Amino acid sequence: MFKYIGDIVKGTGTQLRSMVMVFGHGFRKRDTLQYPEEQVYLPPRYRGRIVLTRDPDGEERCVACNLCTVACPVGCISLQKAETEDGRWYPDFFRINF
């Protein structure tokens, strides 16, 4: 008899807890965005897109040190370095194979 009453109390508590959780989620801010119109905020140090940056005068900022090639875990970055007349290294080609 007491086990039966205990099961009823336990089941009622579970139902009430579930109802409170569902009711609470009804008033939360939605996470869905209308993508083309609303852009997702990305922090300044987001590491999503890999690009080869350029100086304000249009020159590539890469010095062809091959550190990015060595650090790439899947080996998709490849570059060939060349040297200018003044001795500065620059990438002859820089490829990211996605």
pLDDT value at residue 11:
94
The model's confidence at residue 26, banded by pLDDT at 50, 70 and 90, is confident
Whole-model pTM?
0.44
Number of domains into which the chain is organized = 1
Domain hosting 61: range is: 2-96
Which region holds residue 75: left if phi is over 0, alpha if psi is between -120 and 50, else beta? left
pLDDT value at residue 7:
92
3-state SS string over the chain? CHHHHHHHHHHHHHHHHHHHHHHHHCCCCCCCCCCCCCCCCCCCCCCCCCCCCECCCCCECCCCCCHHHHHCCCCCEEEEEEECCCCCEEEEEEEECC
Q: Is the pLDDT of residue 44 over 80?
A: no
Q: Is the pLDDT of residue 57 over 90?
A: no
The strand pairing partners of 77, in sequence order, are 96
The model's confidence at residue 16, banded by pLDDT at 50, 70 and 90, is very high
Q: Is the pLDDT of residue 71 over 90?
A: no
